Chains A and B, each alone.
Chain A
Amino acid sequence: MISLRKVWTVAERDMRTFLRYKFLLIMRAIWFLAQIALFGLVVNQMLRPDVQTSVGGNYFNFYVAGIIITMLYSTAVFIGYDIYEEADHGVIEYLLSVPVSRQELVIGRSIGGGLRSFIYVSPMMLFVLYLIGISNPIQLLVAFMSLFLFTFGVAGFSITLAVSIKSSDRFDILLGVFDALIVRLSTTLYPIAYMPQYYAGIAKFNPLTFAADLFRWGAGIESTFLTSPAIAAFGIVSFFSIFTFLGIFLHERKIEGGGWQ
């Protein structure tokens, strides 16, 4: 039987730890501002009117909504780095010794890793929504709830990857590659219609595509190229479920203290 109190205690720890990495938080915020104030505005000027129309009338709005998803992804994935930091200091062994079940530990860490990402990105999200303008609050609420699950799923994915690899160097390299592929093979930065067909085939099933299109739908961006909200929500729920289950499975069967590089 999973204790919600213990799950929350584990999640709370990860949230508090995240707040201590002040340098990282400031740098990520600067990156976000640079992406929208420089890249987003400049690229928006370069695009033809027909392209602008196809993405809902304004590429800048389409782009900033996507950047929010990349921010959510890159901060939620940070929990994997925390795991290596903890392995370096032996904290993994400590966490495995406390009176918390492995399920509570993984679910707590996924929630903590996701929630801290959501809380951190929230002011940026509100800023972006202010720029775009909110047209349908109920749609937006549905999108928010799905994004919650999306961040938990990304944290679960990162935890799964970290505990499977057990090498910080390999994790770092792999995450760099994943970041390049997952972000670029999704609709976070550009619509699916402009991708070569074989890229689009992969992008259609990318959780970042589901999250980005759902957020755009929630924000009222009317593009003909967005994934259906029902499919996107289903995709996010599946993504969250698969990686939470995998994380629990690995913690119960494979995880032991020691042996981390």
Chain B
Amino acid sequence: MPSIIRIANLTKKFGSLVAVDHLSLEIEDGEILGLLGPNGAGKTTTLLMLTTVIKPTEGTAFIGLHDVTREPDKARTLVGMAFQEPKLLWVSTPWDVLDWHAKVCGLSTDERKKRVRWALEELELWSERHKIIHTFSGGMRKRVEIAKILIQRPKIAIIDEPTSQIDIVGKHRIWNMIRDLRDEGSTILLATNELYEADLLSDRVAIMHRGKLLVCDEPKKLKDSIPGGDVIEVALEKDVSQKSLEKLKEINRIVDILTTKPNHLKIYLNQAEEVLPQITKFFMKARTPIKSIHMSEPSLDDVFAHYTGLTIEEAQRR
């Protein structure tokens, strides 16, 4: 698939602080790319450069065919952004904010009214549409911010922490709306520090830390890239001999085996779902009945830890 965003050596320095450090990345048309990293990783700064809100110190990015440093006006016609912190004046009302946003994005009067009403109803803000934002909770303000992008339906939707401050029911609703937005033709660049959100929504995940891109791939491939990242715990009816263990280790993709009890094994491997039938077959052949089996795969946090030596939570604290 062709790239709709091409980031080349993008760098942003604030004095001596390098917020984004020679970032290069391509985002394909129609995909959801999750930009994952702790606070201060450079995610928001990257997004702000892509929306031309701030200027790169070095390097550039192409939005479609438009260079953000040379043709920012054209680049902005393809992009819409929902910010991490809702950007709303306290004296405004949701209706004013969204109606103006739709108008400035060039929607006709009829379409504007239709879409604004739809978004306000979907996000349960219709009855509050004429109340001033000053009276709103953080979650309500965040919903108004998200509504902007749902109304605009841009070619490239840039969404920064879409569900921070939103309750769990609201999170699911917004995740479905983001998927719908993609299905309607938008490419989505989603910055988040929520692992579950990145895993659930993203076709590919780009992990950032201290302004640098560490790795970018499909979530499954990222998890599989950790040697022995999957774990299968097997409880057996009887004890296993050392010889059997040595033979079990010969199965391709098994990295290590830990005997927690004489009849209880912890097997570290890759692509567990493909190896599991071979393991069960092995024990059946060895006439060692399996009492129970439990399989777990690594999370994106494990992937982050693999590349940085820190969990996201630890990185956030530093």
Contacts of A9 in B (CB 8 A): 100, 103-104
Distance (whole angstroms) from the CB of B216 to the closest CB of chain A: 24
How many angstroms from the CA of A91 to the CA of B101 in the assembled complex? 12
- Indicate if the CB atoms of B83 and A99 lie closer than 8 Å: no
If A13-B100, A86-B89 touch, whether A97 touches B54 (CB-CB below 8 Å) is no
Distance (whole angstroms) from the CB of A24 to the closest CB of chain B: 11
- Indicate if the CB atoms of B87 and A93 lie closer than 8 Å: yes
- Indicate if the CB atoms of A256 and B55 lie closer than 8 Å: yes
* A133 is an interface residue with CB less than 8 A from chain B: no
Chain B, 89-132, contact with A by CB distance < 8 Å: what is the 0/1 string? Answer: 11110001000110111100000000000000000000000001
Contact of A100 among B55, B81, B104 (CB under 8 A): B104
* B306 is an interface residue with CB less than 8 A from chain A: no
* B253 is an interface residue with CB less than 8 A from chain A: no
- Indicate if the CB atoms of B104 and A6 lie closer than 8 Å: yes
If A9-B100, A9-B103, A9-B104 touch, whether A97 touches B89 (CB-CB below 8 Å) is no
Contact of A98 among B48, B86, B88, B101 (CB under 8 A): B101
* B293 is an interface residue with CB less than 8 A from chain A: no
* B237 is an interface residue with CB less than 8 A from chain A: no
- Indicate if the CB atoms of A97 and B51 lie closer than 8 Å: yes
How many angstroms from the CA of A20 to the CA of B92 in the assembled complex? 8
* B73 is an interface residue with CB less than 8 A from chain A: yes
- Indicate if the CB atoms of B54 and A101 lie closer than 8 Å: no
- Indicate if the CB atoms of A99 and B87 lie closer than 8 Å: no
How many angstroms from the CA of A94 to the CA of B88 in the assembled complex? 9
* B77 is an interface residue with CB less than 8 A from chain A: yes
Contacts of B85 in A (CB 8 A): 90
Interface size in chain B (residues, C-beta < 8 A): 29
* B210 is an interface residue with CB less than 8 A from chain A: no
Interface SS, B side: loop
Contact of A90 among B52, B87, B106 (CB under 8 A): B87
How many angstroms from the CA of A97 to the CA of B81 in the assembled complex? 7
- Indicate if the CB atoms of B87 and A91 lie closer than 8 Å: yes
* B220 is an interface residue with CB less than 8 A from chain A: no
Distance (whole angstroms) from the CB of B44 to the closest CB of chain A: 10
How many angstroms from the CA of A12 to the CA of B132 in the assembled complex? 18
* B79 is an interface residue with CB less than 8 A from chain A: yes
Contact of A99 among B48, B88, B96, B106 (CB under 8 A): B106
Residue ranges of A at the interface with B (Cβ–Cβ < 8 Å):
6, 9-10, 12-13, 16-17, 20-21, 85-86, 89-91, 93-94, 96-102, 256-258
A89-B87, A89-B89, A99-B77 are known; give 6 further A-B pairs, CB within 8 A. Answer: A9-B100, A17-B91, A93-B53, A96-B52, A97-B81, A257-B53
A sample of 18 cross-chain residue pairs with beta-carbon separation below 8 angstroms, ordered by A number, consists of A6-B104, A9-B100, A10-B104, A13-B100, A16-B100, A89-B89, A90-B87, A91-B89, A93-B48, A93-B53, A94-B83, A96-B51, A97-B51, A97-B79, A99-B104, A99-B106, A100-B76, A258-B48
